[in-house]
Structure 1
Amino acid sequence: MAKIIDSNEFFENVENTEGVVVVDFFANWCGPCKMLAPVFEGVSNEMGDKAKFFKLDIDEGGRIAQKYGISAVPTMIIFKDGVPVENLTGFMPKENITNKVRAHL
Protein backbone atom coordinates (compact mmCIF):
# COMPACT_ATOMS: atom_id res chain seq x y z
CA MET A 1 0.00 0.00 0.00
CA ALA A 2 1.30 3.44 -0.94
CA LYS A 3 1.55 5.81 2.01
CA ILE A 4 1.19 9.57 1.70
CA ILE A 5 4.22 11.21 3.27
CA ASP A 6 5.12 14.80 4.03
CA SER A 7 8.38 16.68 3.54
CA ASN A 8 9.63 15.69 6.99
CA GLU A 9 9.15 11.99 6.26
CA PHE A 10 10.70 12.21 2.80
CA PHE A 11 14.33 12.18 3.96
CA GLU A 12 13.89 9.13 6.18
CA ASN A 13 11.62 7.12 3.87
CA VAL A 14 13.12 7.98 0.49
CA GLU A 15 16.52 9.68 0.51
CA ASN A 16 17.88 7.68 3.43
CA THR A 17 16.53 4.24 2.42
CA GLU A 18 18.30 1.33 0.78
CA GLY A 19 16.61 -0.47 -2.07
CA VAL A 20 14.00 0.75 -4.54
CA VAL A 21 11.50 3.44 -3.55
CA VAL A 22 8.88 4.88 -5.90
CA VAL A 23 7.36 8.28 -5.16
CA ASP A 24 4.22 9.55 -6.87
CA PHE A 25 4.28 13.37 -6.86
CA PHE A 26 0.63 14.40 -7.16
CA ALA A 27 -1.86 17.22 -6.50
CA ASN A 28 -5.45 16.89 -5.29
CA TRP A 29 -6.68 19.20 -8.08
CA CYS A 30 -5.01 17.12 -10.83
CA GLY A 31 -7.31 14.93 -12.97
CA PRO A 32 -4.61 12.60 -14.34
CA CYS A 33 -3.30 12.18 -10.75
CA LYS A 34 -6.73 10.89 -9.73
CA MET A 35 -6.65 8.45 -12.65
CA LEU A 36 -3.15 7.27 -11.68
CA ALA A 37 -3.94 6.78 -7.96
CA PRO A 38 -5.63 3.34 -8.21
CA VAL A 39 -3.04 2.17 -10.76
CA PHE A 40 -0.16 3.25 -8.49
CA GLU A 41 -1.87 1.52 -5.55
CA GLY A 42 -2.26 -1.65 -7.65
CA VAL A 43 1.44 -1.68 -8.55
CA SER A 44 2.30 -1.13 -4.88
CA ASN A 45 0.15 -4.08 -3.81
CA GLU A 46 1.46 -6.29 -6.61
CA MET A 47 5.13 -5.56 -5.89
CA GLY A 48 4.73 -6.25 -2.17
CA ASP A 49 7.96 -5.74 -0.25
CA LYS A 50 10.20 -5.72 -3.36
CA ALA A 51 9.93 -1.92 -3.44
CA LYS A 52 8.45 0.82 -1.27
CA PHE A 53 5.76 3.14 -2.61
CA PHE A 54 4.97 6.63 -1.34
CA LYS A 55 2.93 9.62 -2.47
CA LEU A 56 3.84 13.27 -1.94
CA ASP A 57 1.35 16.11 -2.44
CA ILE A 58 3.28 18.84 -4.28
CA ASP A 59 1.15 21.57 -2.69
CA GLU A 60 2.16 20.36 0.78
CA GLY A 61 5.72 19.37 -0.14
CA GLY A 62 6.65 22.13 -2.57
CA ARG A 63 10.25 22.29 -1.38
CA ILE A 64 10.80 18.59 -2.19
CA ALA A 65 8.99 18.90 -5.54
CA GLN A 66 11.19 21.87 -6.43
CA LYS A 67 14.35 20.01 -5.37
CA TYR A 68 13.55 17.20 -7.83
CA GLY A 69 12.41 19.50 -10.65
CA ILE A 70 8.77 18.44 -10.65
CA SER A 71 7.12 20.70 -13.22
CA ALA A 72 4.15 18.51 -14.16
CA VAL A 73 1.98 16.07 -12.26
CA PRO A 74 1.63 13.23 -11.97
CA THR A 75 5.33 12.47 -11.93
CA MET A 76 6.76 9.31 -10.42
CA ILE A 77 10.41 9.10 -9.49
CA ILE A 78 12.11 5.76 -8.92
CA PHE A 79 14.87 6.00 -6.33
CA LYS A 80 17.53 3.36 -5.74
CA ASP A 81 19.47 3.59 -2.48
CA GLY A 82 18.25 7.17 -2.04
CA VAL A 83 19.27 8.37 -5.52
CA PRO A 84 16.75 9.16 -8.28
CA VAL A 85 17.31 6.78 -11.20
CA GLU A 86 14.25 7.34 -13.40
CA ASN A 87 11.43 9.87 -13.86
CA LEU A 88 8.04 8.87 -15.23
CA THR A 89 5.72 11.74 -16.12
CA GLY A 90 2.00 11.49 -16.85
CA PHE A 91 -0.48 8.66 -16.60
CA MET A 92 0.90 5.19 -17.36
CA PRO A 93 -0.69 1.75 -17.45
CA LYS A 94 0.10 -0.59 -14.56
CA GLU A 95 2.26 -2.89 -16.72
CA ASN A 96 4.52 -0.02 -17.79
CA ILE A 97 5.07 1.16 -14.23
CA THR A 98 5.69 -2.39 -13.01
CA ASN A 99 8.26 -3.01 -15.76
CA LYS A 100 10.09 0.26 -15.01
CA VAL A 101 10.27 -0.57 -11.28
CA ARG A 102 11.40 -4.17 -11.90
CA ALA A 103 14.24 -2.90 -14.08
CA HIS A 104 15.77 -1.28 -10.99
CA LEU A 105 15.34 -4.15 -8.53
Structure 2
Amino acid sequence: MAAKKKEVVLQININSQELWEEMLCLKGLIVVDVFQAWCGPCKTVVDLFRKLRNEVGSDLLHFAVAEVDSIDALEKYRGTCEPVFLFFAGGELVAVVRGVNAQLLQKTILEQLAVERKVLEHGGERMVVQDGAFSREEGHRAALQAEQGEG
Protein backbone atom coordinates (compact mmCIF):
# COMPACT_ATOMS: atom_id res chain seq x y z
CA MET A 1 0.00 0.00 0.00
CA ALA A 2 1.40 3.38 -1.01
CA ALA A 3 2.06 5.93 1.69
CA LYS A 4 0.02 9.11 1.59
CA LYS A 5 1.86 12.17 0.39
CA LYS A 6 2.31 14.86 2.97
CA GLU A 7 0.55 17.96 1.62
CA VAL A 8 2.88 20.93 1.42
CA VAL A 9 1.33 24.28 2.27
CA LEU A 10 1.79 26.61 -0.70
CA GLN A 11 0.72 29.88 0.94
CA ILE A 12 1.28 30.87 4.55
CA ASN A 13 -1.91 32.29 6.08
CA ILE A 14 -1.16 35.51 7.95
CA ASN A 15 -3.99 36.91 10.05
CA SER A 16 -2.28 38.77 12.89
CA GLN A 17 0.41 41.39 13.40
CA GLU A 18 2.59 38.81 15.18
CA LEU A 19 2.43 36.38 12.24
CA TRP A 20 3.16 39.30 9.87
CA GLU A 21 6.32 40.18 11.79
CA GLU A 22 7.42 36.52 11.85
CA MET A 23 6.85 36.26 8.09
CA LEU A 24 9.08 39.29 7.44
CA CYS A 25 11.95 37.41 9.12
CA LEU A 26 11.88 34.58 6.57
CA LYS A 27 14.98 34.23 4.42
CA GLY A 28 14.44 34.78 0.71
CA LEU A 29 11.65 36.32 -1.35
CA ILE A 30 8.14 36.45 0.08
CA VAL A 31 5.21 37.12 -2.25
CA VAL A 32 2.21 38.31 -0.22
CA ASP A 33 -1.34 38.48 -1.58
CA VAL A 34 -2.96 41.16 0.60
CA PHE A 35 -6.76 40.94 0.76
CA GLN A 36 -9.89 42.21 2.48
CA ALA A 37 -11.65 39.73 4.77
CA TRP A 38 -14.92 40.15 2.88
CA CYS A 39 -13.48 39.21 -0.52
CA GLY A 40 -10.74 36.74 0.36
CA PRO A 41 -7.40 36.07 -1.32
CA CYS A 42 -6.95 35.86 -5.10
CA LYS A 43 -7.54 32.23 -6.03
CA THR A 44 -6.67 32.62 -9.71
CA VAL A 45 -2.94 32.89 -8.98
CA VAL A 46 -2.63 29.72 -6.91
CA ASP A 47 -1.88 27.54 -9.95
CA LEU A 48 0.76 30.01 -11.14
CA PHE A 49 2.39 30.02 -7.70
CA ARG A 50 2.32 26.21 -7.56
CA LYS A 51 3.88 26.02 -11.04
CA LEU A 52 6.63 28.47 -10.09
CA ARG A 53 7.35 26.64 -6.84
CA ASN A 54 7.71 23.36 -8.76
CA GLU A 55 9.88 24.88 -11.52
CA VAL A 56 12.12 26.96 -9.26
CA GLY A 57 12.18 24.48 -6.39
CA SER A 58 13.83 27.04 -4.16
CA ASP A 59 13.60 27.25 -0.40
CA LEU A 60 14.14 31.00 -0.92
CA LEU A 61 10.68 31.46 -2.46
CA HIS A 62 7.69 31.83 -0.12
CA PHE A 63 4.06 32.67 -0.80
CA ALA A 64 1.63 34.11 1.72
CA VAL A 65 -1.87 35.53 2.00
CA ALA A 66 -2.45 38.36 4.47
CA GLU A 67 -5.78 39.68 5.71
CA VAL A 68 -5.42 43.47 5.88
CA ASP A 69 -8.27 43.86 8.38
CA SER A 70 -6.31 42.12 11.13
CA ILE A 71 -2.78 43.41 10.43
CA ASP A 72 -1.89 46.94 11.54
CA ALA A 73 1.06 47.17 9.13
CA LEU A 74 -1.34 46.77 6.18
CA GLU A 75 -3.88 49.35 7.34
CA LYS A 76 -3.43 51.51 4.22
CA TYR A 77 -4.67 48.65 2.03
CA ARG A 78 -8.05 48.47 3.77
CA GLY A 79 -11.15 49.41 1.83
CA THR A 80 -10.04 48.39 -1.66
CA CYS A 81 -10.80 45.20 -3.54
CA GLU A 82 -8.04 45.37 -6.19
CA PRO A 83 -5.66 42.43 -5.82
CA VAL A 84 -2.27 43.61 -4.58
CA PHE A 85 0.86 41.47 -4.37
CA LEU A 86 3.69 42.73 -2.16
CA PHE A 87 7.20 41.35 -2.55
CA PHE A 88 9.43 41.35 0.52
CA ALA A 89 13.08 40.41 0.94
CA GLY A 90 15.11 40.93 4.07
CA GLY A 91 12.04 42.46 5.74
CA GLU A 92 11.91 45.24 3.10
CA LEU A 93 9.37 45.91 0.35
CA VAL A 94 11.16 45.29 -2.96
CA ALA A 95 8.28 45.23 -5.48
CA VAL A 96 4.51 45.68 -5.82
CA VAL A 97 2.16 44.26 -8.45
CA ARG A 98 -1.41 45.55 -8.60
CA GLY A 99 -4.08 43.50 -10.31
CA VAL A 100 -3.97 39.95 -11.60
CA ASN A 101 -1.53 39.87 -14.51
CA ALA A 102 -0.02 36.38 -14.60
CA GLN A 103 2.82 37.32 -16.95
CA LEU A 104 3.82 40.33 -14.86
CA LEU A 105 3.58 38.34 -11.62
CA GLN A 106 5.74 35.53 -13.02
CA LYS A 107 8.31 37.97 -14.42
CA THR A 108 8.47 39.93 -11.16
CA ILE A 109 8.80 36.78 -9.04
CA LEU A 110 11.63 35.39 -11.17
CA GLU A 111 13.46 38.74 -11.35
CA GLN A 112 13.16 39.45 -7.62
CA LEU A 113 14.19 35.88 -6.75
CA ALA A 114 17.31 36.26 -8.90
CA VAL A 115 18.11 39.58 -7.20
CA GLU A 116 17.62 38.06 -3.75
CA ARG A 117 19.91 35.14 -4.60
CA LYS A 118 22.63 37.61 -5.65
CA VAL A 119 22.13 39.61 -2.44
CA LEU A 120 22.41 36.51 -0.27
CA GLU A 121 25.35 34.98 -2.18
CA HIS A 122 27.39 38.09 -2.92
CA GLY A 123 26.25 40.57 -0.28
CA GLY A 124 24.76 43.10 -2.69
CA GLU A 125 22.13 45.67 -1.81
CA ARG A 126 18.38 45.25 -2.19
CA MET A 127 16.47 47.89 -4.12
CA VAL A 128 13.78 48.94 -1.64
CA VAL A 129 10.63 50.50 -3.12
CA GLN A 130 7.81 52.66 -1.83
CA ASP A 131 4.29 51.61 -2.72
CA GLY A 132 2.93 54.17 -5.19
CA ALA A 133 -0.45 54.31 -3.46
CA PHE A 134 1.26 55.37 -0.25
CA SER A 135 3.31 58.13 -1.83
CA ARG A 136 0.39 59.53 -3.88
CA GLU A 137 -1.91 59.53 -0.86
CA GLU A 138 0.71 61.03 1.44
CA GLY A 139 1.72 63.58 -1.20
CA HIS A 140 -1.91 64.65 -1.59
CA ARG A 141 -2.27 64.96 2.19
CA ALA A 142 0.91 67.08 2.39
CA ALA A 143 -0.38 69.36 -0.40
CA LEU A 144 -3.67 69.84 1.44
CA GLN A 145 -1.86 70.68 4.67
CA ALA A 146 0.34 73.20 2.83
CA GLU A 147 -2.73 74.89 1.29
CA GLN A 148 -4.44 75.10 4.68
CA GLY A 149 -1.30 76.51 6.29
CA GLU A 150 -0.99 79.23 3.65
CA GLY A 151 -4.62 80.37 3.88
The bucket for the TM-score relative to the shorter chain is 0.7 to 0.9
Tell which structure's C-alpha radius of gyration is larger: 2
Letter in 2 for 1:17: L
The percent of aligned pairs where both chains have the same amino acid is: 19
Structure 2 residue matching 1:18: 3-state secondary structure = coil
Is the aligned partner of 1:74 residue 2:83? yes
**Counterpart in the other structure of 1:52:** 62
Output aligned runs, 1:21-100, within 5 Å: 21-30=30-39, 36-39=42-45, 41-48=46-53, 49-50=57-58, 51-61=61-71, 63-66=72-75, 69-70=76-77, 72=80, 73-90=82-99, 92-100=100-108
Structure with the larger RCO, 1 or 2 (CA within 8 Å, 6+ apart):
1
Gaps of 5+ in 1: none
The structure with the greater share of residues assigned to strand is 1
1:50-96 deviations in Å (ceiling 9; x for gaps):
310000111222x0212xx4254421101112210111122x23222
The structure with the greater share of residues assigned to helix is 2
Structure 2 residue matching 1:55: 3-state secondary structure = strand
Structure 2 residue matching 1:29: 3-state secondary structure = coil
**Equivalent-residue separation in structure 2 for 1:12 and 1:59 (angstroms):** 18
Letter in 2 for 1:45: R
Q: Which TM-score applies when normalising by structure 1?
A: 0.76
Structure 1 residue matching 2:77: 3-state secondary structure = coil
Gaps of 5+ in 2: 1-9, 114-151
Letter in 2 for 1:54: A
Deviation at 1:17, TM superposition (A): 1.7
Structure 2 residue matching 1:103: 3-state secondary structure = helix
**Equivalent-residue separation in structure 2 for 1:21 and 1:93 (angstroms):** 18
**Does the 8 A contact of 1:78 with 1:86 survive in 2?**
yes
Structure 1 residue matching 2:69: 3-state secondary structure = coil
